């Protein structure tokens, strides 16, 4: 058996296998330890040059109709390879970390508390310190990040938190995510309190810090394999302008967003500039 290539999309890999079967060439697909990545193996070494030639054509146009037609022609309605369903709790847990999951659950629990008890009652306990008597209630310096005032607000922030926070926790470490979360939650909440007192909440200051940190890390330390899509960066910047110019009359914590982004960029710059010195 000869290893031909590795493919990140099992369904496309199966289409190529089916197409090669119509050419009289038998390929085998094997799962790897890094799903959804799969390997293609060839039984007959004498056919290697033909397979590699066809593979180059396939790589240029994997969605060509001839590959789909081959799957129908082989009569295989079900692939022998067990495809993973990535949209399930088990996969989300494996691709996250304890801190990512803990913050997610805390935000959900606080939102449910607000839905049951009412926003004023919860804000009385978790809002940013409104006066000096509350300064020693240390949880108040962090708890505003857990407050969300609508289901949309909650789901949007948690989706970005999971996407960005899980990258940091899995590829850099839980300690680093904890550090970014604590620093950005305090710094962004303090900045927002200068403009709106204690009447604010949300994880978006931390999310913006993660956007800045993960993006800068992907540029300066590509080996860590962190990434932020350009579309997300564009939407994040547009949202800042929407907030500052009040285009849709939304109550947006602009100061928290900007300060979170700044602290994330500064922490990312500090961490990535120190690494060469350590090495």
Q: Are 144 and 107 in contact (CB under 8 A)?
A: no
User: Does residue 113 share a domain with residue 15?
Assistant: no
So what's the pLDDT on residue 77? 43
What's the CATH code of the domain at 189? 1.20.1540.10
82 in a structural domain: no
User: Does residue 262 share a domain with residue 157?
Assistant: yes
So what's the pLDDT on residue 241? 74
What does the block give as tokens for 202? 């949300």
User: Does residue 220 share a domain with residue 127?
Assistant: yes
For residue 40, report the phi and psi dihedrals to the nearest 5 degrees. Answer: -110, 130
What's the CATH code of the domain at 36? 3.30.70.2350
- State the pTM of this model: 0.67
46 in a structural domain: yes
Peptide bond into 268 cis (omega under 30): no
> Smallest Cα–Cα separation from 24: which of 54, 59, 58, 56?
54
User: Does residue 110 share a domain with residue 63?
Assistant: no
Catalytic residue among 166, 204, 236, 259: 204
User: Does residue 65 share a domain with residue 117?
Assistant: no
User: Does residue 244 share a domain with residue 124?
Assistant: yes
84 in a structural domain: no
CB within 8 Å of 272: residues ≥ 6 apart: 216, 217, 220, 221
State the helix-helix crossing angle for 65-74 and 10-22, rounded to 10 degrees: 70
- Find the domain containing 47 and state its range: 2-74
CA 8, 11, 14, 16: dihedral to nearest 10 degrees? -70
- Concerning whether 204 is annotated as a catalytic residue, the answer is yes
- Concerning whether 257 is annotated as a catalytic residue, the answer is yes
User: Does residue 102 share a domain with residue 209?
Assistant: yes
81 in a structural domain: no
Long-range contacts of 33-39, Cβ-Cβ distance < 8 Å, separation of 24 or more: 35/84, 36/8, 36/9, 36/10, 36/83, 36/84, 36/86, 37/6, 37/7, 37/8, 38/6, 38/7, 38/10, 38/13, 38/81, 39/3, 39/4, 39/5, 39/6, 39/7
Instruction: Give the bridge partners for 173, in sequence order.
Output: none
Considering 74, 97, 128, which residue would you say is the last residue of a domain?
74
80 in a structural domain: no
Q: How far apart are CA 240 and CA 207, in angstroms?
A: 13
For residue 2, report the phi and psi dihedrals to the nearest 5 degrees. Answer: -120, 130
User: Does residue 55 share a domain with residue 164?
Assistant: no
172 in a structural domain: yes
Per-residue pLDDT of the chain (279 residues; tens, 9 = 90+): 788 888 888 888 888 888 888 888 999 888 877 767 788 999 888 899 998 999 888 888 888 878 877 766 655 544 444 444 444 555 566 677 999 999 999 999 999 999 999 999 999 999 999 988 999 999 999 999 999 999 998 999 999 999 999 999 999 999 999 999 999 999 999 999 998 899 999 999 999 999 999 999 999 988 888 888 888 888 888 877 776 666 555 567 788 999 999 999 999 999 998 865 444
Q: How far apart are CA 272 and CA 220, in angstroms?
A: 6
User: Does residue 216 share a domain with residue 152?
Assistant: yes
Distances (CA, A) of 166 to 1, 162, 234, 259: 37, 5, 21, 22
How many domains does the chain fold into? 2
So what's the pLDDT on residue 31? 84
Q: Are 257 and 208 in contact (CB under 8 A)?
A: yes
């Amino acid at each position: 058996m000869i290893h031909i290539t590795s493919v990140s999309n099992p369904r496309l890999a199966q289409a190529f296998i089916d197409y090669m079967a119509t050419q009289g060439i038998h390929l085998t697909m094997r799962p790897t330890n890094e799903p959804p990545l799969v390997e293609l193996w060839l039984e007959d070494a004498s056919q290697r040059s033909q397979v590699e030639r066809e593979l180059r054509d396939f790589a240029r146009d994997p969605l060509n109709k001839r590959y789909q037609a081959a799957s129908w022609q082989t009569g295989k309605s079900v692939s022998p390879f067990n495809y993973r369903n990535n949209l399930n709790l088990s996969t989300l847990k494996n691709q996250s970390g304890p801190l990512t999951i803990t913050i997610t659950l805390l935000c959900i629990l606080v939102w449910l508390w607000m839905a049951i008890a009412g926003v004023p009652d919860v804000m009385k306990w978790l809002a940013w310190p409104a006066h000096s008597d509350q300064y020693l209630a240390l949880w108040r310096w962090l708890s505003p990040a857990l407050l969300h005032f609508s289901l949309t607000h909650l789901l949007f922030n948690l989706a970005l938190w999971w996407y960005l926070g899980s990258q940091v926790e899995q590829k850099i470490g839980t300690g680093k995510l904890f550090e970014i979360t604590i620093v950005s939650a305090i710094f962004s909440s303090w900045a927002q309190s200068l403009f709106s007192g204690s009447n604010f909440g949300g994880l978006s200051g931390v999310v913006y810090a993660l956007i800045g940190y993960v993006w800068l890390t992907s540029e300066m330390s590509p080996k860590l394999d962190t990434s932020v899509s350009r579309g997300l960066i564009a939407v994040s910047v547009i949202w800042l302008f929407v907030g500052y110019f009040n285009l849709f009359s939304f109550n947006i914590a602009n100061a928290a967003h900007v300060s979170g982004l700044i602290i994330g960029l500064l922490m990312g710059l500090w961490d990535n500039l120190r690494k060469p010195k350590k090495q």
